[in-house]
Amino acid sequence: MAVAEHPPPAGHGEAGEADPLAALQGFLTPTDYDALTKCVHCGLCLNVCPTYRQNGLEADSPRGRLYLMRAVAEGDLDFSAAVDDHLQLCLQCRACETACPSNVHFGQVMEGARATILEEESTRLRRVLTWAVFGQLFAYPTRLVLLGVLLRFYQRSGVQALVRWIMGREWVPPRLRLMEQMLPQLSRRFFRAPPGEIVPAQGERRYRVGMIGGCIMPLAFAETNEATVRVLTANGCEVVIPEAQRCCGALQAHAGAQEEARRVARLNVDAFEQWNLDAIIINAAGCGAALKEYDRLLADDPAYAERAERFAEKVEDVSEFLARVGLTAPLGTIERTITYDDPCHLVHGQKVSLQPRALLSMIPGLEYVELRDADRCCGSAGIYNILQPDMSMRVLDDKTEAIIESGAETIVTANPGCLIQINAGLRQAGQTASAQHIVDLLDEAIRAGRREQAAA
């Protein structure tokens, strides 16, 4: 398929042209089609696109993908396996949105196209798997906990050690070995909502905030969730963790399972709106970007549109919130060389990049080095590293190289997928440096501050 053979189609509603909307085959909604037609084909997004940088193919660039979607929507191109491959290879990192002077909401258009592909064009197996994983597993916390218990047994019973021993043999393809290493180490104790769903502020209460626990975070990063509660309460926040909350729906939306995403979004709106909160805090960048878009996700639902808008307005990443309200807990010294890697859905999806750096600059003793291409994807992208392992690993190799070049001992970031991916890349490269969530570092600094106060 030669995308370049398709000239840019006529603009939507231009004088003398047939209205292209009339030719739309249901591939894109009119809203997504309008978003797509803002592209002026300037190409400024090409060099920030990880897949274009790897392949050098127009069809694997943001502009090329927009051409493809438009051509299919206007009936100039039949949807095919080749078109599907180019669209599925997109990481949905949204770096192209940051680079775009025309404000094309690429992530929204791609999500819409994937929803149509899932419903109309995919195999029955793909539909069933998507329904099973996103509709029947991720949407139900108790089922996830059950899976977590099984995985924890696999990791702690010695079975994983045996598998890893086998994976260490020369004949095992390195990519397969790396994929096994992607399985995060599950926490000894999973994170749960406290009895009564409220953790009081330490000292005078400044704010009442809700906290989204996430789906992977409570199982694999329970300590980080606990650290988030400690950092918030130490800074005068009463933290509400409603038990009825569900996963945010980001993975569902990215896979095209829009109805599943809407279902969990409604449940989250129901779970949080009764608490009269100043903010709703999230410590996972991918989830934060999705939660802030509940207004768009539920815009056509008369019962939820306004409530979703109110919910979305309150959502803040934990670093965004702490930088806005200011830290009141004293921070102690940590002697370490660190760098910061921007999670795509924080820097591109939420435009949050200065706040985490500002918080890190407040910790005494840290030597901060800026990471080359810090805002470039690490290749994790939700479950992309499982679905597209080859491209994911090629993107990760670039990230690992930049980290090694920085000389940092700790790579601070703010998303579970990035933590898993970066640590896997560093292990594979034989490095001792490791990735750490920003709230874990803040929590460490608060504890150091208390020790210093006690010793003074």
The nearer residue to ligand SF4, 45 or 291, going by C-beta atoms, is 45
Contacts to ligand SF4 from residues 341-370, by CB under 6 A: none
Amino acid at 333: T
Catalogue the E-assigned strands of 260-363. Answer: 279-282, 315-317, 336-340
Cβ-based nearer residue to ligand SF4, 114 or 266: 114
Residue 3 CB, nearest approach to ligand SF4 (Å): 13
Given 37, 68, 73, 94, the residue binding ligand SF4 (CB under 6 A): 94
| For ligand SF4, the closer CB: 12 or 208 | 12
Which residue stretch of 62-70, 207-215, 307-315, 322-330 sits at the interface with ligand SF4 (rule: CB under 6 A)?
62-70
Determine, following the binding rule CB under 6 A, whether residue 100 of this chain makes contact with ligand SF4: yes
Is the CB of 100 or the CB of 418 nearer to ligand SF4?
A: 100
Which residue of 20, 28, 29, 65 would you call a contact of ligand SF4, by CB under 6 A? 65
Residue number with CB closer to ligand SF4 (28 or 442): 28
256 is an interface residue for ligand SF4 by CB under 6 A: no
Q: In whole angstroms, what is the distance from residue 369 CA to residue 385 CA?
A: 27
| Cβ atoms 401, 331 nearer than 8 A | no
Residue 93 binding ligand SF4, by CB under 6 A:
yes
Which 30-59 residues touch ligand SF4, going by CB under 6 A?
A: 39-45, 48-51
Q: Could you say whether residue 87 binds ligand SF4 (CB under 6 A)?
A: no
Q: Which one-letter DSSP state was computed for residue 183?
A: S
Select 65 or 114, whichever has its Cβ closest to ligand SF4.
65
Q: Identify the sign of the CA torsion 21, 22, 24, 30.
A: positive
Nearer to ligand SF4, 102 or 157 (CB): 102
Binding to ligand SF4 (CB under 6 A): which residues in 398-417? Answer: none
**Angle CA 152–158–160, to nearest 5:** 65
91 binds ligand SF4 (CB under 6 A): yes
Name residues whose C-beta falls within 8 Å of residue 87's C-beta, 6 or more positions apart in sequence: 65, 68, 69, 110, 113, 114, 117
**Helix/strand/coil for 436:** strand
| Residue 81 to residue 123: CA distance in whole angstroms | 11
Q: Contact with ligand SF4 (CB under 6 A): which of 25, 102, 274, 434?
A: 102
| 205 secondary structure, DSSP code | -
Which three-class secondary structure state does DSSP give residue 413? strand
The maximal CA–CA distance of the chain, rounded, in angstroms, is 80
Q: Is 92 in the site for ligand SF4 (CB under 6 A)?
A: yes
Helix (H, G, I), strand (E, B) or coil at 435: strand
- Binding of ligand SF4 at residue 289 (CB under 6 A)? no
Using CA atoms, how far residue 275 sits from 196, 293, 318, in Å, is 12, 20, 19
Following DSSP, what letter does each residue of 64-125 receive, concatenated? HHHHHHHHHHTTSS---HHHHHHHHT-----HHHHH-TT---HHHHHHHHHHHIIIIIS-HH
Whole-angstrom distance, CA of residue 148 vs CA of residue 133: 14
Q: What minimum distance in Å lies between the beta carbon of 338 and ligand SF4?
A: 26
The answer to whether 257 contacts ligand SF4 (rule: CB under 6 A) is no
CB of 104 or CB of 402, closer to ligand SF4: 104
290 binds ligand SF4 (CB under 6 A): no
What part of residues 103-122 is at the interface with ligand SF4 (CB under 6 A)?
Answer: 104, 106
Q: If binding is defined by CB under 6 A, does position 449 make contact with ligand SF4? A: no
Query: What residues line the site for ligand SF4 (CB under 6 A)?
Result: 39-45, 48-51, 62-63, 65-66, 90-96, 99-100, 102, 104, 106
